[in-house]
Every structure is written in C-alpha cells, then in structure tokens.
Structure 1
C-alpha cells in the first residue's frame, strides 16, 4: 500500500504528463526535438509555424521541468531533449515510432 506522500508524488508526475501533452505547440516542439538532436529557436519556430513568444514559453516550461536542456553560445541558444532521463528517452522512442 502506498503512503500518502508517494500518492501525492505520483499525482504530481501525472499532472506533468498532462501538462506535457496539453497543447499542440508543446507536442510539436517535442516531436521535432526528438527527430533532430539539437535545434535553435529560429529552427523550432520555422518547423512548428509558431510565433517566438509561444515557442519561448513552451521551451521555458520544458527547461524548468528538466525535459529539455538549453546550451548557450553567446546569444545563441541550442535546445535538445534531456535523454539522460529514462522517461525522456521513452518519449523520444514514442515520437520515433509514431
């Protein structure tokens, strides 16, 4: 039987999965990041046909939740999936086979 703390922790994970797939924009970004190893903001905007405000908002969500990592080279930011985590590798596999 799970403790109350474990149930609460599991509900938080469930919410993050719901948040992850809550918008088409987030799904598009995750899809393209799973297909390409690294993308910059301009590439993501072109591929997803979204505006920079939307893309930046979604990327901030992903970075804050350790789904995507951000590397900075001067003013250029490069984004990639954080594949060191098992769940992110599963997500990448999901998009690869979809």
Structure 2
C-alpha cells in the first residue's frame, strides 16, 4: 500500500487513527467511534489487514483489530499523526 493510498481515503485514515489511539477494538466500536458505515469500516479493515498494517485476532466469534506495532510503517505513521496533531493544536 502506497502512502498516498493510505491517506487518500478519509475513512481509512480515521479507522487507522482510531486503532493507533485505542490499541484494539472490535468492528462495532470502530463503527461507533469513527461514525462510518459498517460496510465501509469492514472494507478498510480488510485492506489494512491484507497489507499487514492491522492484525485481526479471533476469540470465538469475536474479532478484534489492532495495529501491527512491529511494522515500521505503523511506527512512522503514529509519529507523524502525533506530530501533526500537536502542531494543529497550537
């Protein structure tokens, strides 16, 4: 996934940003917190899992999603978002 692809979708960015802040969540919580349609969140999560940026964990019927903190792209993205938020809040 190119960096442009990650940031070209406001929805994909919101899902990833939420997971970076919260650590992990199920799809219902992500939908509620991002205020995006379920089908859109599901599609974004599938793309992020496919690219290795997000990990899907299953506990019976429950699926939890969390960012893949071992991926250097995630570390860099997290630092970038934190710095941009800091600058915008000044």
Q: Please indicate, yes or no, whether the TM-score normalized by the shorter chain is above 0.5.
A: yes
What root-mean-square deviation, in Å, do the aligned CA atoms of Structure 1 and Structure 2 show?
A: 1.1
Aligned partners of 1:64, 1:18: CA distance in 2, in Å?
A: 17
Q: 1:5-48, CA deviations, whole angstroms, 9 ceiling, x for partnerless residues?
A: xxxxxxxxxx6211111111011011111101111101100011
- Structure 2 gaps, min length 5: 86-90
Structure 1 consecutive aligned stretches of length 4 or more whose deviation exceeds 3 Å: none
Aligned length: 84
Does the 8 A contact of 1:34 with 1:95 survive in 2? no
Give the number of the structure whose alpha-carbon radius of gyration is greater: 1
TM-score by length of 2: 0.87
Unaligned runs of 5+ in 1: 1-14
**TM-score, normalised on structure 1?**
0.80
